[in-house]
Chain A
Amino acid sequence: MADFLSQYSIQRWLEACPQGYLDGTVYGHDPDETEAEEVLTIDSLREASIAVTVQLIAGERCALAASSGLINCAPDDASKMFLATQTLDEARHVEIFTQRLMDLGIKKEDVNSTVADLANPNLVKFAEVLLEKVANKDFVAGVVGQNIVLEGMAFSVFELLQASSAGNPKFAKTLAGTIADERRHVGFGENRIGSLIQEHPEKRPEVEKMQAEMSYYMLATFTDMFSDAGQRMEEAKAIAAQRDENPLDGVSWHGADLMTATPDVMEAVLADTVLGEFKTRLGRIGIEYQSPKVPA
């Protein structure tokens, strides 16, 4: 049974999502919005934006494969219906971030090779851990991996990117829609597993091992992404300083001043935030959080 889904329906999803916060949008943003000029004209910023967008596409492709695969191993019809809507959400995310890649100048025929070249190897391994559970039709592990670990990570990463995109309303708007979707997805994960894990306590050790493994690859991805960000962040700050009004002035995220924080500080704040959320969410549903190994 999934009582929390008793009021959920495709109709409600239609009213909340396509007829709600996505109404009037084109690829997730307002029709007249374009990428910030400096992102399109300064090579290093454009390359950084492409690199970030590729990771988003890689993550969303994993989420699409996982959510669609989980439909057929869901133990109840209500979960199947929810996962059907989540599958469309994830497909939309793949599409809007792919469109952003093209907006940044990548030709359509080069999208797949660009994603293959730039997707972080640790993020690929993160996805493989999850997709193995889905391939084995392991619903409990699959939902924890997808709707708590992956979505929990995405929730915080999207929030950070949204806060960092104060000067890029198009991308910020795109992210706002995905964050709204993630609220449903993490809600499904917590509520479904919160009851299901009580019925299958024998699953806990395996799920906890998976969480530690996925968390390790997530931290390694963060390390890789921030290790090369120093020069680009300095360049972005210099550009911002030339403006009369700096859109990041006074903007903070979980206590970090986005104007002054170094890449090391931002990596630490992001990692602490995501792992803290994992610990809280897993603790609520009776799964013991496992501290991952720290990447070298």
Chain B
Amino acid sequence: MNDDLDTANSVEFETDSDEAPRRRFELEETGFREVPKRWRKFYRLWDGPGDTLAPNEVICPVCKVVIRSHRELRPGDRVYCMPCMSRLVVARGPDGGLIADVLY
């Protein structure tokens, strides 16, 4: 597996000097099979209202799949949803959690 692979663009991971370093996450297979094999660990199905998002996860608003990154996501990060081909930018939602907006 190529460790450089990620759903988020690595150039977007620049961290300002006054911000805490981003946490890193090991990604395991989730049973998601809707993308080619090397990308499957970067996605999982959303389990509904009882489900919670980790700091490295955000929901694609177009297809409702959870997008996962090796690193903690923050507002401004650009992520790619391969199942529906949407390019997204991470933002802060009204409840303080992370959401994603579509870039057309």
Give the interface of A toward B (CB within 8 A): 4-5, 7-8, 12, 15-17, 20-21, 23, 180, 183-184, 186-188, 190-191, 194-195, 198, 280-281, 284-285
Contacts and interface: CB of A to CB of B under 8 A. Distances in A.
B63 A187 contact: yes
Which of B64, B65, B84, B104 has the most chain A CB atoms inside 10 A of its CB? B104
Interface string B62-104: 1111000000000000000111111100000000000000101
B37 interface: yes
B102 to A, nearest CB: 6
A20 B35 contact: yes
Interface of B: 33-37, 61-65, 81-87, 102, 104
A8 B35 contact: no
A187 B84 contact: yes
Given A191-B104, A195-B104, A21 B84 contact: no
Contact of A285 (B36, B82, B84, B104): B104
User: Looking at chain A's contact residues, is the secondary structure mostly helix, strand, loop, or mixed?
Assistant: helix
Contacts of A4: 85-87, 104
Contacts of A21: 33-34
Given A16-B36, A187-B81, 18 more contacts: A4-B87, A8-B85, A12-B36, A15-B36, A17-B34, A20-B34, A20-B35, A21-B34, A183-B34, A183-B63, A183-B84, A184-B84, A188-B85, A190-B86, A190-B102, A190-B104, A191-B87, A285-B104
B81 to A, nearest CB: 7
